[in-house]
């Protein structure tokens, strides 16, 4: 890669992107993305596009109705008035796991979702079960 292959760019306060030239001056940077086309689509075109994607079909009403929300770990922890460390120790979890899940870095697997659901509904039962 040569120096000529590198493009320096800057995002301006108005969210436009400009190319920064060697002398410090700027030029508007031409968009090469087709994202602008998405906003120009009508609702019917968007719906047709969604339905045509065989690899990622939209969920049916039955599938949506069968989904159960997983309690938000941070909300459960705060409701119990615990720090991340206290929560991790009390429920025998790694502190990194609690932190990563709260920050959205990792999604809980099915076993963790079940545990969070039980902790969210009846934390004392889990505490008692883990104490034995």
pTM exceeds cut of 0.75? no
Structure tokens of 28? Answer: 């508007």
Question: Among the ranges 41-50, 75-84, 110-119, which has the highest mean pLDDT value?
Answer: 75-84
pLDDT, tens digit (0-9, with 9 covering 90-100), for 91-132: 999 999 899 889 888 888 888 888 988 998 999 999 999 987
Asked whether residue 86 carries a pLDDT value surpassing 80, the answer given is yes
User: Please, where in the chain does CATH 1.10.260.40 lie?
Assistant: 68-131
Q: 24: number of CA atoms within 13 Å, CB side?
A: 0
Q: List, in sequence order, every residue forming a beta bridge with 27; answer none if it has no partner.
A: 19
> Among 104, 103, 98, which Cα is nearest to 119's?
98
Residue 21 and residue 9: Cα distance in Å, rounded?
A: 9
Mean pLDDT value across the chain: 85
**Pair type for strands 26-28 and 17-20:** antiparallel
Domain range 68-131, CATH architecture: Orthogonal Bundle (1.10)
């Amino acid at each position: 890669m040569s120096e000529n292959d590198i493009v320096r760019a800057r995002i301006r306060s108005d969210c436009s992107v400009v190319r920064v030239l060697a002398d410090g001056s700027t030029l508007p940077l031409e968009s090469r993305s087709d994202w602008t086309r998405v906003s120009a689509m009508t609702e019917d075109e968007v719906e047709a596009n969604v339905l045509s994607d065989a690899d990622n079909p939209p969920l049916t009403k039955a599938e949506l109705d069968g989904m159960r929300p997983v309690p938000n770990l941070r909300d459960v922890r705060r409701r119990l008035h615990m720090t991340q460390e206290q929560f991790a120790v009390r429920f025998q979890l790694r502190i990194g796991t609690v932190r990563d899940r709260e920050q959205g870095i990792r999604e809980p697997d099915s076993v963790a979702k079940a545990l969070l659901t039980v902790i969210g509904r009846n934390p004392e039962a889990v505490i008692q079960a883990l104490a034995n």
